Structure 1
Amino acid sequence: MTRSQLQEDMHFRILRLLQENPEMSQRDLAKSVGVSVGRMNYVLGALVDKGLVKLGNFTAAKDKRRYAYVLTP
């Protein structure tokens, strides 16, 4: 597999995980995909920039710094 194909595969796996559970933390996503938390932060930023994912706040969460990663239609 080429680097581009591996990156697309990782993006697809992340999108699938977020579809099933948008409340997953970056740490949980990183662990599930097998990358560092820093790498996951970078990849999620790229998915947001591409318009595939948007950030939403948890309105009921005690910690208002928590975000939900929501797939765009």
Structure 2
Amino acid sequence: MVSSDPRDEVGGAHRVVCHLDAVLAERGVTLTELSARTGITMANLSILKNNRAKAIRFTTLTLVCDALGTSPQELFSLRP
């Protein structure tokens, strides 16, 4: 599950940037295909893809990484 609730955030704005859009493009996978592969709703994947997520469960992260053959390091970075 991906959370977009600002109350889930601790200590102000986070610096985590999600690169799901780029990873999907590199692999030629659509959000619809990723949703079908993972069972994660299009709404939750869209929140993640558009950098509106405030948190992500490890189970969700694992599903996305496994479905795309990638790692959290490729999906996320920290902005300065």
- Please indicate the TM-score interval, normalised by the length of the shorter structure: 0.3 to 0.5
TM-score (norm 1): 0.32
Greater relative contact order: 1 or 2 (C-alpha under 8 angstroms, separation 6 or more)? 2
